Chains A and B, each alone.
Chain A
Amino acid sequence: MRIEIPEFCLVALVGGTSSGKSTFAAKHFKPTEVLSSDFFRGLVADDENAQDASEAAFDALYYVARKRLESLRLTVVDATNVQAAARRKVIELAKEQNCHPVAIVFNMPERICKERNALRPERQLPDRVIQRHCNDLRRSIKGLKREGFRFIYILNSPDEVKTVELVRTPLWNNKKNEHGPFDIIGDVHGCYDELHEMLTILGYIENTEGVMSHPDGRRAVFLGDLCDRGPKNTAVLRLVMSMVQHGTALCVPGNHDIKLMRYLKGRNVQLTHGLQKTADELAQESEEFRSDVAKFLDSLISHYVLDNGKLVVAHAGIKEHFQGRGSARVRDFCLYGETTGETDEYGLPVRLDWANEYRGQAMVVYGHIPQMEPAILNNTYCLDTGCVFGGKLTALRYPEREIISVKAKNVYYEPLKPLLSEVNTYDDILNIGDVSGKLHLHTRLMPVIDVREDNAAAALEVMSRFAVDPHWLIYLPPTMSPCETSKLPDYLEHPNEAFAYYREKGVQKVVCEKKHMGSRAVITLCRDTETAKQRFGVTDNSRGIVYTRTGRRFFNDMALENAILDRLDITLTQSDFWDDFNTDWVCLDTELMPWSAKAQALLQKQYAPVGCAGRTALQKAIEALEKVCQRKNLAYEVSKNTSGKNVDIAQVLESFKEREACVNSYINAYREYCWPVASIGDLKIAPFHLLATEGSVHTDKDHVWHMETIKKYITGTDSIFMATEYLVVDVTDDKSMQSGTDWWLSLTGSGGEGMVVKPYTFIAQRGDELLQPAVKCRGREYLRIIYSPEYTMPEHMKRLKKRGLNRKRRLALREFSLGMESLERFVSKEPLYRVHECVFAVLAFESEPVDPRL
């Protein structure tokens, strides 16, 4: 016997004890697919026969079954299920989960069950139980269909059980193996001329059999609502039917199609909403054609899951947890969408907006809701652009995501209400679900990035309390790792290791950029407040922002922020930046100096006090030590009465003098980065990445391009904008590297922080491996304010050299990937939540404990 069941369904094995269910299940299903009531009794009560544990056991069993079905896994309930009440639970769960319930019935002769029962070593039930089971079962069989089982198989003898061949068939909606490419076409509504033009534009031609087909094998996908209201309904039907029949098109049904089918089948339907027109046309056709149309429409499947699950098509759209499932509820959703049951002032149903909350991975393409423009939201595309109402017919080329429209040649039907010109604005609101719990992100540079729940919780607090309006936050800069620890005795960091890193990773050329000691500042500027409003969704009439690496506003003083933005705008306007880049906005990565502008509190509470205490204390200690060294009457004999050991005080004096020199260098080091800021003119801003403008994330250009472009357009005219010195080094050439090292020595020798070494290209990969986008190489003096004033003392240096960079580097890569991703998403106009989740994740990683000195 051949048993065919859908690949995804809920199977109930129905049969009394000892009827052979478990043996059957073990033979035909994976052990994990089978949930047996005995097993769950054992789990909850340590005894598979504990009947008083049945309630708890079934609770647990159905809990697990639900979890499996939620993730689209076939599940078998191995329990007697001989009573209707027990089976009702199966049916209800299947309905809830939108999958087909299947019954496989073991209608064995009572005699056989009894014999088997007698042979059971571990448990023997009284014969009357078996008898009751068999009676219950026999009474049940007839009603199974009515109870709701979609597939019912009845096995009447052990021999029949032996012959069973169990086959799992794909669901009708499963076309994951069809990879396209596709041309998906929105609601046609009898607009044959526009459809024909569209197919022609898309490259379809009539083949020898007179069927429209694409020479490259592309296939059309119709989103339903082929007829009604428009002028040439039968022509559309003929065209589409022939394409589907010959395999050059797929088609899902729309609500109009289903109504037409019901009409053709003689049901009592009202000839409203344009059905009259179709009916009139069909009345002119042959009976045979009408019957073909009815059959065709009846055969349509509510939705298709295509291309490995990456694309789903349905007339009215489809929620994520309906995709790939089959039930009346799913079908209704695909045909009609979800409505509140209310009607609006035009008498049309008020729709619930599923697309707004859609967070699925699969791209959903649908129609049904006529709008002026295709509505693109959260990876969903609505292609109904109201052709029949005088709008246009729209198609989407997949996987290209290219949109093609053909204008309607006429207003064929007056719309009941004006076509929506504006896509709803719900996506403007961020959803807590997108940023809480464990986050799982996909980026172009790193396929999977996970964020731990506690990190996300920390980020939520920072984001909510301190960060700027998320509309502005299209990027957060990544952390940067230092180069490997130097092998030279006097240095913790040295260019040798930075060059070596890239050389070993197969990078030949690097760009060394002077590292400014200020505070990181991201600057986003729009040409005007209107751009800020339209492009960024910022509503407070600001036109730009300066924010820190943790997303906080850089300046508390709004007037100062505005003044900087104004000066940047003047500079960019004078240099024709806006025109040359054909953009209304720009996002820059910069360093803003002096350090003391942002770090005043840190300086006054920590850096300066340590310097003050160190200098004074060491001075006093040295005075005392010098005095004792000048004394002539020192003795060195050891006395038993003291616990100390003799010490050469002159040596102590020397070491304290060295320490004093260290502290003085430390004070000089931090002083280098401080100057009073009385007005905007005292600030210095050094842009080093031209991150993005309209339509482009400029990470496809190398760092020299960034340096030179910034020089050309931003620095040089206004004194507050400062160019960054840089040097290109060939890391396979000793002479070139020596010049890099010399440059670094001269930078750091004159108080500079150091340099940042970047691969020549903005994004560097070796095979699948993403390389560090930059490593910093900090100067010996500068590091005093990081590692303590006296870190250069040999005994400290030795220990400090043992530092691990792995954690920092992993963080840097993840944050870089996320930063690039958020820019890419913003530039390609993805919804706010998609941009925000990347930025949010960067902030979450910032709460990871990592050695802050790195």
Chain B
Amino acid sequence: MLLTLTYRGNRATDLGYLLHKNPSRTQEFEMSFGRAYVFYPKAEETECSAALLIDLNPVDLVRGKVGSTEGGLFDYINDRPYVASSFMSTALSKVYSTAMSGRCNSRPELAASPLDLEASITMLTCRGDAELVHRVFEPLGYTVSFQSFVLDDKFPEWGNSDYVDLTIRGKVKLCDLLNHLYVLIPVFDKQKHYWMSEDEVEKLLRHGKGWLSSHPEMKLITRRYFNRKKSFANRVIEQLLDAEDIESAIEESSGEDEAILSEQETTELEATALKAKEKYISLNNQRLDAVVQAVRDCGAKSVVDLGCGEGRLLSRLIVENQITKLLGLDVSIFALERARERLHLDRIAEYKRDKVTLVQGSLTYRDKRIEGFDAACVVEVMEHMDIDRLPAFERVVFEFALPRTVIITTPNVEYNKNYERLSTDMMRHHDHRFEWTRAEFRAWSESICKRFGYSVSYTDIGDIDEEVGAPTQMGVFTKCE
């Protein structure tokens, strides 16, 4: 909302010439998203400050004219009018465009020299990572100070807000300061109010000229500037780096990008669970190997994957030639879309395509479409169901769908102690409703066998810990003749 630039020195009011804004005037500028004002709260011989104040129209935001990103109330009750965001960068480039280019016909030598300049940015979003402020601004020669705020003093237990009032001061050219601010404000806020087009790459290169390539946090700045547009970020990095550095940079970017996403989008708990995922990825493969082997062993020709998700198991099964019919069922339409993409159903060979069907369904509803299969796989699915829905699930699978073989995997909660990031009361995934010990899973399995006429054998999947067993437990249920 507010950015104040202060120049301290002899004839400080020359700042007016540099900014092309007369210190004795108060001016208003029409912006596409509202209004901007420029005025000088202080205009004295030794110290002169120019304020850029944005009056953002919140109703326009809501109407989706500008900056509307998500639906729901989030657009109506919005911090955008009050915080330093890409709206500020846009205003800077419009109101101070000449100053930004370094042009000043009346005081050219002043424009070209480093001056004692200070910028105060109110309400910069830094999402708990105040340290970043130092890492980003100090290499550019600024001294940095900031003030944080409690979210609501009536409820101190809610903690601090994500916002700081930031002041940076250094000996820099005015045009450099303006360019730094133009690029770096959105790096903190990360939420761009406009749709990024191709020329955004060129814009960053232009405003970053002369300082961005040598900045130690260049990659981070670039990536966050483009937020989710990874391809744009990579193109900028490419242009800023020497050829040999490029490949490694792009490789790194994928991992880091995920970290940024998780920081932004997942809660504390999820983030921790995600980190435990490092060990997880290879486990996922081991699990799929075990399931595919079990499917082979039972000689199934038709297989239904209950809770197929994005189709990781299906993509393994589709290449198994003995399988002639595959059905993937999931409750999430979105997951099914991803599965369709992952399996490349629009371009794989017809004989493969014709064996696969994807349908939306739910494991707690009786479903004729899943009846008559040789085998059913329920891989890391049941723990996503509330435990009081299990009776319905059991009947849907074992009484009505009635496959000859049912392959079920689920986490072994005893193994969780090996995940450092998981505290004792946490589960491996935020959506898990329960995680069972080996004894619990076995007790459940035995009761299934008794009630529905199946026999079961168990397999451990993943590294086996002598004391607590393997991370994943698998039960293969076979219908008794």
Chain A residues in the interface with B (C-beta under 8 A): 429-436, 457-458, 460-461, 463-465, 468-470, 538-540, 542, 602-604, 606-614, 616-618, 620-621, 623-625, 627-628, 631, 633-636, 639, 641-649, 652, 667, 671, 674, 676, 785-791, 796, 799-800, 849, 852-853
How many residues of B sit at the interface, in one of the four size bands?
A: 35 or more
- A sample of 26 inter-chain contacts (CB < 8 A) reads A430-B364, A460-B361, A461-B332, A469-B386, A539-B388, A542-B388, A603-B158, A606-B77, A608-B155, A609-B79, A609-B151, A612-B151, A612-B152, A613-B163, A620-B2, A623-B41, A631-B43, A633-B43, A642-B27, A643-B29, A644-B95, A652-B53, A671-B154, A676-B157, A786-B77, A788-B76
Q: With A430-B392, A628-B51, A639-B22 given, is the CB distance from A613 to B73 under 8 Å?
A: no
Find B122's partner among A620, A646, A786 (CB 8 Å cutoff): A620
Q: Check if B360 sits within 8 Å of A604, measured CB to CB.
A: no
Q: Check if A617 sits within 8 Å of B360, measured CB to CB.
A: no
In the bound assembly, the distance between CA atoms of A627 and B82 in angstroms comes to: 20
Find B161's partner among A465, A613, A634 (CB 8 Å cutoff): A613
Instruction: Say if the beta carbon of B414 comes within 8 Å of chain A.
Output: no
Q: Which of B32-40, B193-201, B238-246, B291-299 is found at the contact surface with chain A?
A: B32-40
How far does the Cβ of B175 sit from chain A's closest Cβ, in whole Å?
18
In the bound assembly, the distance between CA atoms of A431 and B395 in angstroms comes to: 12
Q: Check if B362 sits within 8 Å of A463, measured CB to CB.
A: yes
> Total number of A-B contacts with CB less than 8 angstroms?
219
Binary interface profile of B, 195-219, with partner A (CB < 8 Å = 1, else 0)? 0000000000000000000000000
Residue of A nearest to B4 (CB): A624
Residue of B nearest to A604 (CB): B158
How far does the Cβ of A678 sit from chain B's closest Cβ, in whole Å?
11
Residue of B nearest to A636 (CB): B25
Q: Check if B58 sits within 8 Å of A646, measured CB to CB.
A: no
Q: 8 closest A-B pairs (Cβ-Cβ)? A: A644-B27, A627-B41, A647-B28, A635-B24, A464-B362, A613-B82, A617-B82, A432-B365
Q: With A431-B366, A642-B27, A652-B37 given, is the CB distance from A609 to B73 under 8 Å?
A: no
Q: Check if A646 sits within 8 Å of B331, measured CB to CB.
A: no
Find B39's partner among A542, A602, A628 (CB 8 Å cutoff): A628
CB contacts (< 8 Å) of A628 on chain B: these are: 26, 39-41, 51
CB contacts (< 8 Å) of A540 on chain B: these are: 387-388
In the bound assembly, the distance between CA atoms of A435 and B362 in angstroms comes to: 10
Q: Check if A624 sits within 8 Å of B163, measured CB to CB.
A: no
Q: Check if A430 sits within 8 Å of B163, measured CB to CB.
A: no
Q: Check if B361 sits within 8 Å of A432, measured CB to CB.
A: yes
Instruction: Say if the beta carbon of B384 comes within 8 Å of chain A.
Output: yes
Instruction: Say if the beta carbon of B444 comes within 8 Å of chain A.
Output: no
In the bound assembly, the distance between CA atoms of A291 and B290 in angstroms comes to: 73
B45-88 residues at the A interface, CB under 8 angstroms: 51, 53, 55, 57-59, 62, 71-74, 76-79, 81-83
Q: Check if B77 sits within 8 Å of A788, measured CB to CB.
A: yes
Q: Check if A608 sits within 8 Å of B151, measured CB to CB.
A: yes
CB contacts (< 8 Å) of A787 on chain B: these are: 76
Q: Check if B364 sits within 8 Å of A616, measured CB to CB.
A: no
Residue of B nearest to A623 (CB): B41
Instruction: Say if the beta carbon of B333 comes within 8 Å of chain A.
Output: yes
B125-161 residues at the A interface, CB under 8 angstroms: 149-152, 154-155, 157-159, 161
Given contact pairs A609-B162, A625-B53, enumerate 8 new A-B contacts (beta carbons under 8 Å). A460-B331, A606-B74, A606-B77, A608-B155, A612-B150, A616-B163, A627-B41, A791-B59
Instruction: Say if the beta carbon of B21 comes within 8 Å of chain A.
Output: yes
Find B26's partner among A429, A461, A604, A649 (CB 8 Å cutoff): A649
Q: With A433-B368, A606-B74, A786-B76 given, is the CB distance from A674 to B155 under 8 Å?
A: yes
Find A645's partner among B27, B41, B95, B154 (CB 8 Å cutoff): B27
How far does the Cβ of B452 sit from chain A's closest Cβ, in whole Å?
14
Q: Check if B365 sits within 8 Å of A435, measured CB to CB.
A: yes
In the bound assembly, the distance between CA atoms of A572 and B363 in angstroms comes to: 38
CB contacts (< 8 Å) of A642 on chain B: these are: 20-22, 25, 27
Q: With A624-B4, A852-B72 given, is the CB distance from A464 to B151 under 8 Å?
A: no
Q: With A624-B4, A634-B24 given, is the CB distance from A612 to B362 under 8 Å?
A: no
In the bound assembly, the distance between CA atoms of A458 and B388 in angstroms comes to: 22
Q: Check if A464 sits within 8 Å of B363, measured CB to CB.
A: yes
Q: Check if B27 sits within 8 Å of A624, measured CB to CB.
A: no
Q: Check if A633 sits within 8 Å of B122, measured CB to CB.
A: no
Q: Check if B331 sits within 8 Å of A624, measured CB to CB.
A: no
CB contacts (< 8 Å) of A635 on chain B: these are: 22, 24-25
Instruction: Say if the beta carbon of B42 comes within 8 Å of chain A.
Output: yes
In the bound assembly, the distance between CA atoms of A785 and B333 in angstroms comes to: 33
CB contacts (< 8 Å) of A641 on chain B: these are: 20
Binary interface profile of B, 355-384, with partner A (CB < 8 Å = 1, else 0)? 000001111111111000000000000001
Find A609's partner among B20, B21, B81, B161 (CB 8 Å cutoff): B161
Instruction: Say if the beta carbon of B338 comes within 8 Å of chain A.
Output: no
Counting chain A CB atoms within 10 Å of each CB, the highest count among B25, B158, B395 belongs to: B25
Instruction: Say if the beta carbon of B470 comes within 8 Å of chain A.
Output: no
In the bound assembly, the distance between CA atoms of A644 and B53 in angstroms comes to: 13
How far does the Cβ of A451 sit from chain B's closest Cβ, in whole Å?
15
CB contacts (< 8 Å) of B396 on chain A: these are: 429
Instruction: Say if the beta carbon of B181 comes within 8 Å of chain A.
Output: no
In the bound assembly, the distance between CA atoms of A744 and B8 in angstroms comes to: 56
Instruction: Say if the beta carbon of B1 comes within 8 Å of chain A.
Output: yes
Q: Check if A790 sits within 8 Å of B58, measured CB to CB.
A: yes
Instruction: Say if the beta carbon of B417 comes within 8 Å of chain A.
Output: no
Counting chain A CB atoms within 10 Å of each CB, the highest count among B57, B157, B387 belongs to: B57
Instruction: Say if the beta carbon of B402 comes within 8 Å of chain A.
Output: no
Instruction: Say if the beta carbon of B255 comes within 8 Å of chain A.
Output: no
CB contacts (< 8 Å) of A644 on chain B: these are: 21, 25, 27-29, 38, 95
Q: Check if A788 sits within 8 Å of B83, measured CB to CB.
A: no
Q: Check if A457 sits within 8 Å of B360, measured CB to CB.
A: yes
Q: Check if A610 sits within 8 Å of B77, measured CB to CB.
A: yes
